[in-house]
Amino acid sequence: MLIFKKNIYFINYAFNRQTPFRIEMGDNEGPRPIAYNFLFTALAGDRTLFLELNRIDPDLARERLRIFFPNASRFGDLAILNTLSKRLLRGLLNNRVWYQLNCYHFCYLYDTLMNLVEDYSYGDRSLREQLFPEMQGRPINFNQFLNEYFFHTVFLIDPRRFNSLSRKEQLRLGRIDHSLFGVLPVPDPVPDDEDPTLARVINRIPPGPDEIELEIYPGNPYWR
């Protein structure tokens, strides 16, 4: 199970037959895709994408990788992003362990979710309803989703701007909560401590083997 600012496995009104988890519907703030479905659809679709990319000419694959993952491809090649994708999908489906994500994971998720939003936005009504019936064909507010579920999106900052900041300013930047909604509960592993992967992602440094893996979080981060 993956840890976000808000619990994507929260028990509420709906049941998705593709997963053992009861998951929450949108509330009165407006229609939105069910968070678990949103992540699962993006990550499951990427498995087909990477199979296709591994079958074509490497130069063409690199070009398409930059299109599909404009941010994550700056630090990861086809093999790295494929591995990140597999780890994230496996972690999403694992109902026994909580996993804490680093900035490499969040950057990858940002790109793949943005791709899905674009496919949904340019699709016709039937495609929209097939992807996310709960949206009833209405637009997805991606910024709303990011504010509600991502701790921050500082990893998207320009490297020159980030590197021009003082060390104190860099650390403070990584601790900013970018939520507009004050969603509760916020789990323990919020970015209060320095995450060394933030600077590495911003400066486009490939992740090491340990940084690709998901970090096991002991216990339940949403229980206080």
Delimit the domains of the chain by residue range: 14-217
Peptide bond into 133 cis (omega under 30): no
pLDDT band at 176 (very low <50, low <70, confident <90, very high): low
Is the pLDDT at 93 greater than 70? The verdict is yes
What is d(CA 115, CA 48) in angstroms, rounded to the nearest whole number? 14
Average pLDDT of the residues in 67-94: 97
Average pLDDT of the residues in 17-31: 46
Q: What percent of the chain stands above pLDDT 70? A: 81
Closest by Cα among 102, 107, 97, 108 to 221: 97
Give the alpha-carbon dihedral of 41, 42, 44, 47, to 10 degrees.
160
Q: What are residue 134's phi and psi, to 5 degrees? A: -65, -20
Name the H helices within the chain.
35-53, 58-68, 78-93, 103-122, 125-131, 142-149, 159-164, 167-175, 196-202, 209-212
